[in-house]
Amino acid sequence: MTVLVAASSPIGFAIAADGRRVSANGEHWSDSAQKIWSAVSPSKFAIAYGWCGNTRLETRVNAFDFPSVSQEVFADVNDTVDNAKPEALFQNFVQGVYLRLRWFLEGVDSSLSNIILPEVIAQVLLVGYVGQNPVQFTATFAHHKGQVQVPCLRSHDAGEDDLLLLSGSATLFSNLVGPENASLEIATETVRRYTQDCVDHQCSIEDCSSFGGHVHVATVTKDGFHWVIPPIETK
């Protein structure tokens, strides 16, 4: 499980994640994993994004890593950016990841049944700017009886979703007050504190039990992506 949360402000977004990584069968791998990345193309877009779920699928001979594939796809869709239609960037991004996932699975046996168990494979949270436009999107990659499904892409209004939780403790989130029209500094501290609370309560709150590790936090504005607390591991 992962903590992955974002908050908006009038001048930018803050995004935070924990550092614990486990395998699909629950084996503990790391407490210093990177779960947030950036995609920046000057004058076109500045995006911060994070993945949760089964973000790496492995066979005996090959692997599909959602974060690594994301970097490739953002490079490919750079020339398709239309500031008048910011959602097109994310539609092309999701389509690019989806096609690569299908190609990978066709090389296996077109079935996910021997790789993962949950129907939801992985989810991604993306916040930032396309041109001057603030954007928030989430996407879900899933399968049904081993066959990968067309991803579900959802847009979130920054004015309505000041706090956007993709994965984390519902118990702690229910008591969290969104930083409406708050400064970027307050938004940053809000997501940092929430993520750290999820980690700190892993032994005392049931839906925090799978969280842990190093909390990392970033901001994204029209000027680009910036680490507030960088991850220990980077790739």
Tell me the DSSP string of 11-68.
Answer: TEEEEEE---EE-TT--EEESS---EEEEEETTTEEEEEEEEES-EEE-SS-EEEHHH
Average pLDDT over residues 58-78: 90
Q: What is the pLDDT of residue 117?
A: 58
Tokens standing for 136?
């928030």
Q: How far apart are alpha carbons 210 and 91 in whole angstroms?
A: 31
For residue 7, which of 227, 228, 160, 169 has the smallest C-alpha distance?
160
CB 54 within 8 A of CB 122: yes
Q: What is the pLDDT of residue 104?
A: 87
Residue that is written with structure tokens 């069968």 in the block: 25
> Confidence band (pLDDT; 50, 70, 90) for 171?
very high
| Architecture of the domain spanning 4-229 | 4-Layer Sandwich (3.60)
Q: What is the pLDDT of residue 176?
A: 82
Q: How far apart are alpha carbons 65 and 35 in whole angstroms?
A: 12
Q: What is the pLDDT of residue 2?
A: 94
Q: How far apart are alpha carbons 137 and 130 in whole angstroms?
A: 12
Average pLDDT over the chain, rounded to an integer: 88
> Confidence band (pLDDT; 50, 70, 90) for 96?
very high
| Residue ranges per structural domain of the chain | 4-229
Q: What is the pLDDT of residue 221?
A: 97
Phi, psi of 23 (to 5 degrees): -80, 175
Q: Which of the listed ranges 13-27, 46-60, 115-129, 208-222 does the model predict with the highest average pLDDT?
A: 208-222
